[in-house]
Structure formats: C-alpha cells, structure tokens
Chain A
Amino acid sequence: MITATEIIRSAPAEICRPWLRHILPHADWIALAQTAPAEGWTLLAHWADTALAHALFLDPDSLRVVPVSTLVEAGRYPALSPYLPAAALYQRMVHDLWGHVAEGAADLRPWLDHGNWPLSPPMAIRPESRPPGAPPLLTGPEQDDAMILPLGPIWGQLDEAAHLRLTLHGPIVRYAEALLGFTHKGALTLMRGKSTRAAARFAARLAADATVAHSVAFAQAAESALDVEVPQRAIGLRIAMMEIERIAIHLDNLTEVARLAGAGTVRTKCGTLREVLLRATATAFGHRLMMDCVIPGGVAADIDANGPEAILRALGTIASELPTLRRLHDGPALSSRLVGLARTRGARGGVTGRASGHAFDVRTNFAPGYAGLMPRTAVLSEGDAAARQRLRLLEIEESLRLIGLTMDLLPAGPTTATLPQVSGEGIGCAESSRGDIWHSIQLDHGQIAAVFVRDPGWDQWPLAEQALRGAEAEDIDLIRTSLALPASGIDL
C-alpha cells in the first residue's frame, strides 16, 4: 500500500507557511485517510471554503503538520469519517456552514444549524434565505427500559450553553450525546473580508478561557501568511501571557471542581489565588483576561512599568501555596470524589490527554519562542479526574517557571511589526489550557479571504460523551467541570 508521505509527495502544492498545502485528487484524499491511522497520522482539523475541503494532519514521525485539500465537485467531496471517526463532527459543521456534502458519511445530521438562521448555508457564495424550520432532534439508541435525562442548554450554573442528553439505566448513564451549536455566533463569517487586526477581535472572543491562546494562534497564522517576523520582545510577552492564562484557567478549574466536590479549603484558596493573579494581570496588561492584548504583528501594548513586579509577586504567592494545594488534592476529601472518576481513553493532548499518558503539547515543537525555554511536559497515566487535577497543579508549576524565565530573558525593543497588505496563506498554533489550537488563514491583499479556527473542544466533546458512559448521573456536573468543556469555541 502506498504510504501517506508518498501520496503527499506526488501532489501539487501551494505555499501555506510554514508548511506546504497539498492538493489531492479525490482518490488520494481517500487513500490518505485510509493509510493515516496505520501510520499514526492524526487529524488535527477539517474544514472547508467555498471551493475546497481542507484537512490538517499531524505526522508524528517527521513532526510536521500537513495541510491537504480536495476539490468540492457538484457540492460533494469524499468523507474522511469512514476511516477517521474524528472527522464526523467537522463534516456536519462543513455541511451546515458551506453546504458541501461529505459523500459516504454515516451521519450528516445538522450540528450548528438548528433551523433558526434566516439564510442557509451561511458561508456559501450565495446563501439562500429560508423560513425558520423545526429544530433537529437527537437520536440516541433508545431502549424501552431506559430513562432519558435532558440537561441544558441553559444550566444556570455560571457556565456553558450546551445540551446533554443522557440515557439512564437506574442511576447510571448508559449513553450520552452532546448537542451543541447553541452559542453559534457566525464568527467565521464576521471575520471574512476584514483586515487581520479587525478580525483578531473575533479570534479573542471564540472561547474566553483561551482568549490569549486563540489570539496568538490567529496572529501567528496571519504573520505566517504575510511572511512577517514578530519582534522578540512581543514573542516573550505572548509567552508570558499564554502561561498566565494557563495558570488562571487551571486555578478557575481547581476552584470549581473543589466547589462541586465539597472541598471548601481548596475552593477558597484557588479562588483567591486566581483573583490575585487577575489583578496583577490587569496592572501589567490592562485587562484581567488579557483579551485583545495580542494582535497580529505583536502585542497591543508593552507591559506596564509596574507589570513585571505585580506579576512576579502574584506568581510568588501562587508558588508558596502549591505544596499545600498538592497535599490537599491527595487528601481524602478530594481523592474520595475524584479517584477513578470519568477515566478517559484516546485523548491526544490537552489536560485530558496528558493525564492519560499522551504527551502531545505544541509548546515542545511547534510554538514559536518556547524552544529556548525547554518546556517540560508533565504526563500522568491514570486518566481519571484525580489525575487531571494533579496534572493541572503540575502545569501551574511549570508555567510559573516559564514565566519567570521569559521575563528574565525579555529583550528590549519594539513590540509590533508592520503588516504589509499582501496575499498569502498561513497556519498558526498555540497550546491553550485545554489543548492545542490551530488557525488557518488565507489573505487577499491583507484582507481575510478564508479562515478556520480549531478549538480543542472538537476533540473534547466526543471524549466527554465516552467518559460519561457508565458514570453516576449525580456526578455529571463534576465530570463536566473536570473535563473543562466550554462550547463557544467549537460552536464558532
């Protein structure tokens, strides 16, 4: 059988910095999907534009990212999902947004489109107007003796808008299906046709728990497309912001999991530490969540004169509490609730992956600026909720080190580069607190012609459906929180 590398090598390619994007005939697009699992290639993302279907692969041997495309002919392209199950949700999204049919897909039920939009498909060249229709229905495998528990889309718990449909057998979840798309805001359409600076505001608002990470991935994709070098000082400040975001979001998660598990001391301590950090962040960067602080070309503003001291003091407070937090997580209050809870299998990266033996982390190979800092990826093997919280603590510790080092090494100099109004194509990535983020941009004279933004949620939600199977219904909130499952990023 022909190998993935051979398929790629014989195909024509376009420059898609820092990689090459290969254009495959339908037969090779399918052949690549067939051979990918055996060769360990993973599907990082799958999307479309008005003319082509795109997929982004990771080749683990040569450690390269491989973008490929195939023509959409008469509204159809061959489905990847028969060979790569992870493609299934993306294909439903592609169908909802562009109208392209993934031929051979087992499941093309609507995903983002609940029948409420005034036009369809919204990203087609000429969308058609349509009257409001009936919302799609979930179809789980229903059994006569089973009880269906619908949860959401509004939970009233200061979190997500998403719908979970659980099939219960007694108190046990037999089957869980997530229905998302409720928070779909049309972000990709809003970005199209704008300058990269204007579109960056939407990248920053895809998923606020990763506002810095999404902004960095977006900026890098734009800078790659324009072939622009970002000043070293901006790269250092971006890393500081991304690691601060990781600590703040992990602290938020530790707070919420402790609250749901009834661990009052951990909840209070982590909530306080997060607030201390956010106040320092506001001093340093002018915004508590650092929204809009990273822009294509660099950073929106240099760190405040009082910023480094404020940040380092907050980090010192966090570092001094870490041993206590670690001890409390090993203590009976939390471990009795978390050990063995919602074990996951098969996650490629993120906290979920790294808590279950999979070390993938783009900071160790693809993310600019990290190489000199030698980031250390913590990995645990148990894969349960307890391991995820311990991993979050280990990651906080490593982020403290990375921020300290970055701030020490921060060179003087400018914090932005000018962006030329040229055309080009690029890919950017970042490691958010939930996993790897990938952005792909095509620019036409500095304006966005096509864009896709891939949130880790695309991997997380299918994993959550699996992890919920066999769980006790009363643990649902704890499990959801321990897996960290925002919907907005995947809802687009």
Chain B
Amino acid sequence: MAPPNPSEPIDSETIAILAARLEAASQTRLGRSLAIRHINTGSCNGCELELRGLRNSFYDLERFGLRLVENPGQADVLLVTGPLTRNLKAALEQAWDATPEPKWVVAVGDCAVDGGVFKGSYAVLGGTGHSVPVDLTIGGCPPTPARILAALRTLLEVNAT
C-alpha cells in the first residue's frame, strides 16, 4: 500500500494572523497538543466524511498532538461543520458556553464559513460566525483532509510560538 504522504505545507500568513489575534486577546497559550470537539450544525455529512479521513494512517492527526474529544468541557478547539441551521443554534451556543477559555473556534467547509449554498434559506442563519466568534475558517466543499490538517497545524504553531 502507498506510504503516508506529507500533508500540505502550513500557511505562514494564517499563522501570523492567528498569532496577532492571540496577542490581542492576550490569551493563555494552549500548548503543544490540542483537544478538538466536533460540532455538526447542519452539515450534509460531506465535511464529516473528510474529517473521518483524518483518522486514517495517511493523515493520522494524533501524531501531531491533535486529539478528538467528546466532552466540550475538555476541548481547546471547537471544529464546526455545516451551515448554522435555526434548529441547531442553541446546541452550538451551549457547546461554546461549555468549552472553557482559552478556546479556538474553527469553521470547516463553505457552509460553516458563510452558509455556503444554503445561504438565504428560511431554515439557515448563515455560517458559524453568526452565533459564536470564529478564529479560523477552512473553505472547500468539503475541504480535503490535507487542507483541514494543515489548518489545524497552524493552531499548533501559533500556540508554540
């Protein structure tokens, strides 16, 4: 079988922007590993299919110190997928409230970025940013695992600088 391949390079511009944001908020740094909690706010499940790919041996996100957790109380990062449906707004806000500071919010996929193709529907409010402050967006429908992994590694870098 094919050997694991290196993921996409880390985007230095994004790191700089995030680092500036971190300084501005004078946030405590989170450290060399990050606990990630996934939140589906109305996805078509395409983003989840690619996120699940992050666990295969090509990407193996744990080797970078990125861990998936189920309890928002233990999370450093909220990884949000899907357009924000009106029926899931309260659930997103509850999860955000339950996540201790400091925390990062990452919007994964065009839908979470700004509602994607579902913008303008009576049932959809827009992207994740409609309800909670977003630190990092990853576009794509869905974004590839390589792209998601590269973006998550920028968070690790920012925390390490």
Residues on A close to B: CB < 8 A?
114, 116-119, 122, 127, 153-161, 181-187, 189-190, 201-202, 205-209, 211, 252, 255-256, 259, 268, 271-272, 274-276, 278, 288-289, 291, 317, 486, 488
- Does B153 count as interface, using CB distance less than 8 angstroms? no
Tally of contact residues, B, Cβ under 8 A: 48
Neighbour of A186 across the interface among B56, B89, B118, CB < 8 A? B118
Residues of A near B37 (CB, < 8 A) are 156
Asked whether A272 lies within 8 Å of B58 as measured between CB atoms, the reply is: yes
Least Cβ–Cβ distance between B63 and chain A, in angstroms: 14
Q: A161-B91, A185-B42, A278-B53 are in contact. List 4 more A-B contacts (CB 8 A).
A: A155-B70, A209-B49, A255-B56, A275-B56
Contact flag A488-B45 (CB < 8 Å), given A119-B122, A278-B53: yes
Residues in B whose Cβ lies below 8 Å from that of A118 = 122
- Can you sample 13 A-B contacts with CB below 8 Å? A114-B86, A127-B122, A153-B88, A154-B40, A157-B38, A161-B43, A186-B123, A201-B117, A205-B117, A271-B53, A291-B46, A317-B1, A488-B45
Find chain A residues with CB under 8 A from B55 CB.
259, 271
- Chain B residues with Cβ below 8 Å from A181 are 87
Bound CA–CA A155/B43 (angstroms): 13
Q: Are A207 and B44 in contact (CB under 8 A)?
A: yes
**Once the chains bind, are A183 and B48 in contact (CB under 8 Å)?**
no
Alpha-carbon separation in the docked complex, A271 to B142 (Å): 18
- CB of A190 within 8 A of CB of B121, answer yes
> In the complex, what distance in Å separates the CA atom of A183 from the CA atom of B122?
13
- Give the residues from 13 to 38 in chain B that come closer than 8 angstroms, CB to CB, to chain A: 37-38
Task: Determine if B44 and A289 form an interchain contact, defined as CB atoms under 8 angstroms apart.
Answer: no
Among A119, A153, A159, A182, point to the contact of B48 (Cβ < 8 A).
Answer: A159
Assess A488 versus B122: contact at CB under 8 Å? Given A154-B91, A156-B70.
no
The contact string, 1 if C-beta is below 8 Å from chain A, for chain B 83-102, is: 10111110110010000000
Whether a CB of chain A sits under 8 angstroms from the CB of B160 is no
Whether the pair A274, B53 counts as a contact (CB closer than 8 A) is: yes
CA distance A276 to B53 in the complex (A): 11
B123 CB contacts on chain A under 8 angstroms:
117, 122, 184-186
- Answer yes or no: B127 CB below 8 A from chain A CBs: no
Q: Known contacts A183-B42, A184-B85, A208-B46: does B58 contact A275 (CB below 8 Å)?
A: yes
Contacts known (A154-B91, A208-B45); A160 close to B40, Cβ less than 8 A: yes
Find out whether the CB atom of A158 lies under 8 angstroms from the CB atom of B51: yes
